[in-house]
Amino acid sequence: AGLFRRAELAQPLMAAACMGMFRLLERLGLRPAMFAGHSFGEHVALCAAGAIDYDDLILLAYRRGVALMEAAAARPGGMMAVAADADTCRRLLAACSDVEIAAINAPRQVVISGTAEALARAERTLAAQRIATERLEVAGPFHCGLMSSACPAVAEALRQCRTAGPVVPVWSNITAAPMPDDPSQVAQIMLEHTTAPLRFAEQIENMYAAGSRVFVEIGPQDVLCRLVGRILRGLPHLAIATHIAGQDELVQLQHALAQLLAAGAPLQLEYLYQLRGVASAWTGRDPGCALHGLK
């Protein structure tokens, strides 16, 4: 399990698994109006939106992962979740050197990155204010200035990657706005992603303002769905996970598809039954009608 904490292994595997699930959902008729990702997931979202070729994504994931692990070895550290808002974190940690906000995930969930010593100081400072913290099981202090030594290698990896403007809008984790159409600007944002903090909460709020109401999480577990629920608390929306830890994978996929059908997504599920010797229950009829037993 420790091997999969290494970015050069974990990121290509994550990319392959997420793109596999996306291609399956696409084959079943899902047509997203916009994409977004969290951390490395943004690179996968760009691939799904046609901005990066799949083979280039896998190579980029490996090369980027190697660069990040080398930077982490040069400046060892970690990451810690904090149950507070960003302004509180900035105020309380202003005197702590070598620690930075790495992600603003929800109204009261911030992640900080720093050296081991800096995180220990931050932990004591926050504990004195009775603010809960949790160390994250990651291989380094990602999304902060301590990763700056990785930038030249990441830039070289991006130069070897064929980048295009997204065919479908991709909302950036670090600008909380849609990616530009200019491929060079897309590549620049991907490079800045190495050291910039993630503005996930603001990103989701802006996507909601732009009309997004149904959010589908493609990836392990349902962490982002739960974050979306906290960000959009009290607002009408639906957050659907394709995988939940402890749940049977196929059953959870079927639950996700059922939620999408109930939400009005025009899915065509016949592909699920091909080569399985199982007849589709709604051949020739609207899948939503078949789901509810309607003529």
Assess if residue 98 is contained within a domain: yes
Quick one: pLDDT band at residue 293, thresholds 50, 70, 90?
very low
Q: Which residue has the tokens 């992603």?
A: 193
Quick one: pLDDT band at residue 176, thresholds 50, 70, 90?
very high
Cα 105 from Cα 26, distance rounded (Å)? 27
Cα 197 from Cα 175, distance rounded (Å)? 10
| pLDDT value of position 96 | 85
Residues 135 and 158 in one domain: no
Residues 220 and 100 in one domain: no
Residues 71 and 151 in one domain: yes
Assess if residue 36 is contained within a domain: yes
Residues 103 and 153 in one domain: no
Q: How many domains does the chain have?
A: 3
Cα 259 from Cα 240, distance rounded (Å)? 7
Quick one: pLDDT band at residue 290, thresholds 50, 70, 90?
very low
Average pLDDT, the chain: 91
Residue 199 contacts residue 175 (beta carbons within 8 Å): yes
Residue 211 tokens read as 């009309």
Q: Which residue has the higher pLDDT, 4 or 166?
A: 166
Residue 45 tokens read as 């979202």
| pLDDT value of position 207 | 98
| pLDDT value of position 170 | 97
Q: Which domain CATH number covers 56?
A: 3.40.366.10
Residues 58 and 132 in one domain: no
Element (H, E) at 100: strand 99-106
Beta strand 78-82 with 133-135 is: antiparallel
Q: Which residue has the higher pLDDT, 56 or 274?
A: 56
| pLDDT value of position 116 | 93
User: With 0-12 CB in 10 A as exposed, 13-18 as middle and 19+ as buried, what is 151?
Assistant: middle
| pLDDT value of position 275 | 66
Assess if residue 206 is contained within a domain: no
Quick one: pLDDT band at residue 220, thresholds 50, 70, 90?
confident
Helix, strand or coil for residue 81? strand
Full domain range(s) for residue 31: 1-75+144-194
Q: What is the mean pLDDT of residues 114-124?
A: 95
Residues 5 and 135 in one domain: no
User: With 0-12 CB in 10 A as exposed, 13-18 as middle and 19+ as buried, what is 54?
Assistant: middle
| pLDDT value of position 103 | 97
Residues 62 and 5 in one domain: yes
277 pLDDT above the threshold of 80: no
Assess if residue 68 is contained within a domain: yes
Helix, strand or coil for residue 249? helix
Residues 70 and 188 in one domain: yes
Residues 9 and 92 in one domain: no
284 pLDDT above the threshold of 90: no
| pLDDT value of position 38 | 96
Assess if residue 66 is contained within a domain: yes
Assess if residue 169 is contained within a domain: yes
Quick one: pLDDT band at residue 95, thresholds 50, 70, 90?
confident
Q: Which residue has the higher pLDDT, 219 or 42?
A: 42
Q: For the chain, percent helix, then strand, then coil, each to nearest 5?
A: 50, 15, 40
Q: Which domain CATH number covers 127?
A: 3.30.70.250
Last residue of a domain, one of 117, 139, 161: 139
Assess if residue 238 is contained within a domain: yes
Nearest C-alpha neighbor of 63 from the set 163, 150, 3? 150
Residues 153 and 284 in one domain: no
| pLDDT value of position 286 | 53
4 pLDDT above the threshold of 70: no
The percentage of residues in the chain with a pLDDT greater than 90, rounded to a whole number, is: 82
Lowest mean per-residue pLDDT among 22-31, 77-86, 269-278:
269-278
Residues 62 and 148 in one domain: yes
Residues 39 and 117 in one domain: no
